[in-house]
Structure 1
């Protein structure tokens, strides 16, 4: 019982906003309408228990009466155009790619700013990314920190719309500001319960205990001078650090080329690429000097990895890397083209790599030099180690 009370208190402490008011969600399923009504008193542990049980669903007004916040949120919702129609296989592939890319990049961009996002399925049409502060943070500062992440990501996404909370720097008069639904409750309109994606156990008890691992950021240690949008030093999640050091080309392409990055991130999550996505992988990464190692690693993450098929397809790589225009066309990707430091007659993703030299690629099975032989040997060792595990 004491453990449960402690977890409820932790929940109240993390997801706290305006001190004298919170909100209750209502829904009319027949008409497809939902909204919130203010509850003008402080939230109590009993309210949290009601919320977790599913009897009621509550939300919080993020902005406190002193114009500070204890948390900030990025709300990532599926765009309206994908919610009101039957999805094609291309739509599903696009959403899958962008979702993997969204989760990977939002974590990296947050860590550049000393923030630690907690990802939650919202129970409706998207995801919430929660950012917690160790001490009440001025809303203006929180909005800038989290807003920068949203701004940098939004230009790379075509299926998700990002929205930042809080929306105001301050409140005046009788205004309450914007609210966000509390996690782990049941959405009154969809009937779906929200949950934290990093916790594999979907039970409410396990999800509640998972909050003990949450990190809070000290905004006093976060200075706007420590980063500049688009120029920040790439900080890598500890889980990806070893991977990034071993395969720096993949890490850089995932970070700097959104359409190719979405495919790489999706493969890292074990999702089988479509025929078009495979073509893009071979016709870009396949031109790198160590393509053998990179491609066997990338496809080795997939459930139906076929070593001989990868070797055969790599041996068929000819010509020059796929250009940005062709990649955008194949993926139905409508975002802007990547900016390069200098103009190129034929822009393509490999130009993001400083070591790339035009005309230098691996276009056949024939070993051209000792460097290629060494790369082939490394790839063989990796496959053998995987087989022996």
Structure 2
């Protein structure tokens, strides 16, 4: 047996031992997680919880799901099956008083918003109505943070997010959505927290979750509640439907679920066991998140954050489990195989092809609604087991792989095309462009950036 063969056999033995050890650790991790869950929730079906009175259940619900108390949203559904939420008003559809839809509720002189009191919560829990919470207060504070996951991979995304919360000792509660095709992960605070800081915690947790599940969409950054740092002018902020809706619960939806996505037998016992996050612990986590991604941006208002600091930070730390060699394919895009890459590295590569949306920050600075405006724009896509990026990202991707001690094996699949004969360019630069440096004709890949106010014609 040659030296190479012996070494290959030795490597196979070591890899087999590593796989066995990994399986043992995963099994032990599951056991410890189960023990920890039982220690946090001693008995979710204990008699003292199941014997809660109706008033105690309402008070427990209000204690956790706090938001604006002067208003709430009411779910409606018409004969055509369309549904939505609108602010609850005592004069709604009153003849001669309510002029919807010609006059918006916020501009109506006859508006009489209903308060979110115990009776409203009781009606919600008993099935008389379905209500939504406005989590952002008029002081730009909140008592909770909720992350909404509704993509096809919502279970993997929720698992990664819950793991990120557990790693930072943050208690969270997962609620299956009304439709059953998604979930809300709720985090509750001991006191009112500035919405911008609560949302920064959500961003940091999403960053960590993406390192475990790289398929997590950047759209998740736009699915945090409260959805704004500050109250938009003339609005109430985004609402979120409250859990434990009577009718969906009969199908196991709008209910709190465990790590296996099964509803807890005693919903009220589980809610009574949920811990709240202190302000001190929140800011400790924010500091930890800033240190992990190398950002110097601390607890600054968005108006004080420099434009170059708004982009998604790319961490510099070494990632374990990286391959020694990676084959890249350069075609219409830059393709990287996902299978040999750790999830954390895939997440970092995706960030290279992502950038902050200036329209979002401009709209937010004007205190307008950012609904439907993505905070981040990601040009990375996953296609048939490959991570596809714009070819202009090649240099940054190569630098990142070099930092991780990964050798690149490039395969050029670009079409060389057919050279056109007797073709000459007769155009000339405009006067305002003549001072610009010419682009080298020897470059095979060029990434051009045009400032927003620069003319489109050359």
- Match of residue 276, structure 2, among 202, 207, 216: 216
- Judged with a 3 Å threshold, the aligned counterparts in structure 2 of structure 1 residues 226 and 213 are, in CA distance, closer, same or farther, namely same
- Judged with a 3 Å threshold, the aligned counterparts in structure 2 of structure 1 residues 118 and 332 are, in CA distance, closer, same or farther, namely farther
Q: 2:186 aligns to what?
A: 130
Please tell me whether residue 343 in structure 1 is matched to residue 374 in structure 2.
no
CA distance in 1: counterparts of 2:136 and 2:174, whole angstroms:
20
Alignment of 1:269-280 (within 5 A): none
How much does 1:21 deviate?
A: 1.0
Q: 2:164 aligns to what?
A: 109
Q: How many residues align?
A: 241
CA distance in 2: counterparts of 1:186 and 1:332, whole angstroms:
43
Alignment of 1:306-385 (within 5 A): 331=385, 340=401, 341-345=404-408
- Judged with a 3 Å threshold, the aligned counterparts in structure 2 of structure 1 residues 148 and 158 are, in CA distance, closer, same or farther, namely closer
Describe the SS at the equivalent of 2:192.
strand
Q: Would the aligned equivalents of 1:61 and 1:178 in 2 still touch at CA under 8 Å?
A: yes
- Structure with more relative contact order (C-alpha pairs < 8 Å, separation 6 or more): 1
Structure 1 regions of 5+ residues with no counterpart? 79-94, 233-251, 258-279, 286-327, 348-389
CA distance in 1: counterparts of 2:218 and 2:271, whole angstroms:
26
Q: 2:206 aligns to what?
A: 150
Q: 2:74 aligns to what?
A: 24
Please tell me whether residue 171 in structure 1 is matched to residue 231 in structure 2.
yes
How much does 1:161 deviate?
A: 4.5
- Match of residue 185, structure 1, among 245, 250, 262: 245
Q: 1:68 aligns to what?
A: 141
Describe the SS at the equivalent of 1:69.
strand
CA distance in 1: counterparts of 2:178 and 2:218, whole angstroms:
16
Q: 2:8 aligns to what?
A: none
Higher helix share: 1
Which deviates further from its counterpart, 47-56 or 103-112? 103-112
Q: Would the aligned equivalents of 2:155 and 2:182 in 1 still touch at CA under 8 Å?
A: no
How much does 1:2 deviate?
A: 5.5
Q: Would the aligned equivalents of 1:152 and 1:229 in 2 still touch at CA under 8 Å?
A: no
Q: Would the aligned equivalents of 2:71 and 2:87 in 1 still touch at CA under 8 Å?
A: no
Describe the SS at the equivalent of 1:36.
strand
Q: 2:126 aligns to what?
A: 53
Please tell me whether residue 8 in structure 1 is matched to residue 68 in structure 2.
no
Q: Would the aligned equivalents of 2:73 and 2:85 in 1 still touch at CA under 8 Å?
A: no
Deviations 1:272-325 (A, max 9, x none): xxxxxxxx99x999xxxxxxxxxxxxxxxxxxxxxxxxxxxxxxxxxxxxxxxx
- Judged with a 3 Å threshold, the aligned counterparts in structure 2 of structure 1 residues 106 and 27 are, in CA distance, closer, same or farther, namely same
Describe the SS at the equivalent of 1:52.
helix
Describe the SS at the equivalent of 1:66.
coil
Please tell me whether residue 118 in structure 1 is matched to residue 176 in structure 2.
no
Q: 2:88 aligns to what?
A: 38
Q: Would the aligned equivalents of 1:114 and 1:217 in 2 still touch at CA under 8 Å?
A: no
